[in-house]
Amino acid sequence: MNRRMQALAVFPAKKSVQLVDIPEPQLQDATGVLLGVREVGLCGTDREIISFEHGSPPPGSDRLILGHESLAEVVEVGPSVRRLSPGDLVVAMVRRPCPHPECRPCRAGRSDFCVTGHFTERGIKEADGFLTEYALDDEEYLVKVPKPLVDVAVLLEPLSVVAKAVVQARAILDRLPYEPGPQRGLVLGAGPIGLLGAMALIAHGYETVVYSREPEGGDKSKLVHSLGASYVSAASQPLETLTETTGEFDLILEAVGFAPVMMAASRLLRANGVVALTGIPAEGAAADIDVGGALRDLVLKNQVVFGTVNAGRSDFLSAIQQLEQFMTLFPESTRKLITHRRPLSEAARMLTQRDGIKNVVQLGLREA
Ligand code: BGC
């Protein structure tokens, strides 16, 4: 008889979130990998799912197992697995391809650019996640993590989203037919994506400012200063007048998800600058901005605003390189991004409490 394990699941129809008792999975596919989940990071997307605003269970199921920011250990591999062996540390990619032959990005292994919308996402959309002791995956969607990163590797999934945003933004900036001078970056928001984004911009040589709600002198502003960036609080400076004190920016990374802030971002750009939007605003949100002025600037100053979501394998690999760089440049600040590590029994409470930066659920490998 199968052993049993616990998992944190959301039941959208019943509007409840609870620990469920389910059978441990067993390896079936030749390219399958049995994972012992070690850590799962919690984020705003999980909070939206437990507020029933985002996400959906697998077809035919009334519940979705949560958890998409994973770090796991390979326990067992199928006979055709080539790149992984038991004991390896891995992070799972979140999005899985749609089935449509005509979807070129999915067929090319880049479901993060899926054009049909029929992709699935582990722990988010129609596929169970990793907030459980053991999980199955396919070798294709697992990225091997260097062991020295073990303490911070649970940050790799959110960092992959940042890495993709930076790769895409720099590709757009690369279109410029001249050699740009020193570049100035702005990060909007000081949550995990914002702070990882600040680290990434600094590591890429940007003179960086972080703008967020928390007061100056608080933990987040101290962390930002420890990276060598400046911090400006929304409490003391309205966004519209920010550039009067800071100057304009070449690259803005938005990580707030609040429509008025997202719409206002392009007004803070220099000529030829780029805004990367990563926050997901509520549908129907309105923003009181000068649309004509913003559009005029976009055209007259060659500016670009683009959205970016999820990440492909190359972005995960670039996230690994960046995390290694962060651990050389600012190891203590990187570790400080992880505020609490708690057991699965406290996961639901951590999701509703919202204190700290990145809260992580720890799951232990059981004795054989
Ligand atoms: C995840 C992404 C996902 C997005 C939309 C984010 O929290 O990190 O992988 O694509 O939510 O569901």
Q: Among 247, 245, 256, which Cα is nearest to 190's? A: 256
Instruction: Look at residue 367 and tell me whether its pLDDT is greater than 50.
Output: no
Count of Cβ atoms closer than 10 Å to residue 60 Cβ: 5
Residue of the nearest CA to atom 2 in ligand 1? 310
CA of 178 to the centre of ligand 1 (A): 35
CA 202 from centroid of its chain's CA atoms: 18
CA of 237 to the centre of ligand 1 (A): 30
Residue of the nearest CA to atom 9 in ligand 1? 310
Instruction: Return the ligand 1 atom nearest residue 43 CA.
Output: 7
Query: Across the strands, what pairs with 252?
Result: 186, 275
How do residues 72-89 score in pLDDT, each as one tens digit? 999 999 999 999 999 999
CA of 160 to the centre of ligand 1 (A): 10
Mean pLDDT of 289-298: 94
How do residues 168-224 score in pLDDT, each as one tens digit? 999 999 999 999 999 999 999 999 999 999 999 999 999 999 999 999 999 999 999
Q: Among 10, 45, 352, 344, which Cα is nearest to 192's? A: 45
Instruction: Return the ligand 1 atom nearest residue 158 CA.
Output: 8
Mean pLDDT of 151-180: 97
CA of 309 to the centre of ligand 1 (A): 7
pLDDT score recorded for residue 286:
85
CA of 292 to the centre of ligand 1 (A): 32
Quick one: pLDDT band at residue 368, thresholds 50, 70, 90? very low
CA of 111 to the centre of ligand 1 (A): 12
Residue of the nearest CA to atom 10 in ligand 1? 310
- Classify burial at 175, counting beta carbons within 10 Å of its beta carbon; exposed 0-12, middle 13-18, buried 19 or more: exposed
pLDDT score recorded for residue 365:
52
Instruction: Return the ligand 1 atom nearest residue 157 CA.
Output: 8
Instruction: Return the ligand 1 atom nearest residue 311 CA.
Output: 9
Mean pLDDT of the chain: 96
Weakest-pLDDT range from 60-64, 223-227, 351-355:
351-355
- Classify burial at 174, counting beta carbons within 10 Å of its beta carbon; exposed 0-12, middle 13-18, buried 19 or more: exposed
Ligand 1 test: best mutation among 121, 155, 351, most atoms within 8 Å of CB? Answer: 121
pTM, two decimals, is 0.96
H or E stretch including 184? Answer: strand 184-188
Q: Supply 61's token pair.
A: 């199921």
Instruction: Look at residue 1 and tell me whether its pLDDT is greater than 80.
Output: no
Residue of the nearest CA to atom 3 in ligand 1? 310
Instruction: Return the ligand 1 atom nearest residue 54 CA.
Output: 12
Residue 155, SS3 per DSSP: helix
CA of 312 to the centre of ligand 1 (A): 12
**Whether the Cβ atoms of residue 8 and residue 66 lie closer than 8 Å to each other:** yes
Determine what percent of the chain is predicted with pLDDT higher than 90.
95
CA of 11 to the centre of ligand 1 (A): 19
Q: Which residues line ligand 1 (CB under 6 A)?
A: 43, 45, 68, 94-95, 121, 124, 157, 161, 309-310
Residue of the nearest CA to atom 6 in ligand 1? 45
Cβ neighbours of residue 177 closer than 8 Å, sequence gap 6 or more: none
Rounded-to-integer distance, Cα 127 and Cα 59, Å? 8
Mean pLDDT of 2-27: 96
Mean pLDDT of 93-120: 98
Residue of the nearest CA to atom 11 in ligand 1? 45
pLDDT score recorded for residue 287:
85
pLDDT score recorded for residue 235:
96
Rounded-to-integer distance, Cα 6 and Cα 12, Å? 19
> What is the end-to-end Cα distance of the chain in Å, rounded?
15
Instruction: Look at residue 366 and tell me whether its pLDDT is greater than 70.
Output: no
Strand order in the sheet with 230-233: 230-233, 207-212, 184-188, 249-254, 269-277, 304-307
Instruction: Return the ligand 1 atom nearest residue 112 CA.
Output: 10
CA of 310 to the centre of ligand 1 (A): 5
Weakest-pLDDT range from 95-104, 281-290, 315-324:
281-290
pLDDT score recorded for residue 354:
81
Ligand 1 test: best mutation among 10, 91, 94, most atoms within 8 Å of CB? Answer: 94
How do residues 32-87 score in pLDDT, each as one tens digit? 999 999 999 999 999 999 999 999 999 999 999 999 999 999 999 999 999 999 99
Structural Rg of the chain based on CA atoms: 21
